[in-house]
Amino acid sequence: MHENAPVLKGTQRERKGTRYARRDREQGRLPAIVYGHGQDPLAVALEARDTIGHIAKGEKVFKLKIEGVGDELVLLRDLQYDYLGTNLVHADFSRVDLAEKVTAHVHVVLKGDAKGLKSAGTVLTHPITELTVECAISALPDQIEVNIEDLDVHGTVFAKDVVLPEGVTLTGDPDGVVAHVVGGKGGDDAEDSDEAAAPGA
């Protein structure tokens, strides 16, 4: 699945620290660290525009091409943003191979229009936007699609209900709510509200 992983190009960072990292960002580079597989951590500066673009699309596995170091297959592990939480300022990657099993967070995409939303006053909630899964790197999906067309009023899709690709196992909370249709006239929510408001209830 990741034979065509996006390529991120960059250079090794000889100098570390806040001042040098800020200088890298001003020059269009994203500071990052690569670690794992018993090797020393490698501080790098990646081309920021391409890197941020691929991350925004949900990509997690990349091929790094670092000048003077060579090529490595890596998994995105962590992102750090500025104090406003808007601008990406640093990324962490770990070295991997395609057969290695990893635990990762995969974005959930809801597909279709829930039939329960046809009722007046209903709202679709999407509390969990990522699922924590375990699988080989070669089987790691870029995203997990969940069809909610049959979801009726007061219907719920739990994490354990999601059909995962072959070789992918859920490791997060199985009772986490992925999608839920709430509200609606004459439904359970309305009845509960009426009972609560009734005198002597």
Task: Convert the pLDDT of each residue in 57-94 to its tens digit.
Answer: 888 899 999 988 888 899 999 999 988 878 888 999 99
Higher pLDDT, 193 or 141: 141
Buried b (16+ CB within 10 A) or exposed e, 164-177: beeebebebeeebe
Model confidence at 137, pLDDT cuts 50, 70, 90, reads confident
150 vs 70: CA distance, rounded Å: 49
Tell me if the pTM is above 0.95: no
Question: What mean pLDDT is predicted for residues 161-187?
Answer: 88
Question: What mean pLDDT is predicted for residues 95-122?
Answer: 90
Percent of the chain whose predicted confidence (pLDDT) is above 90: 52
The amino acid at residue 59 is E
69 vs 8: CA distance, rounded Å: 13
What pLDDT score does 57 carry?
A: 85
164 vs 66: CA distance, rounded Å: 34
What pLDDT score does 25 carry?
A: 81
Mean pLDDT of the chain: 85
147 vs 36: CA distance, rounded Å: 37
Task: Enter the tokens of residue 181.
Answer: 């249709």
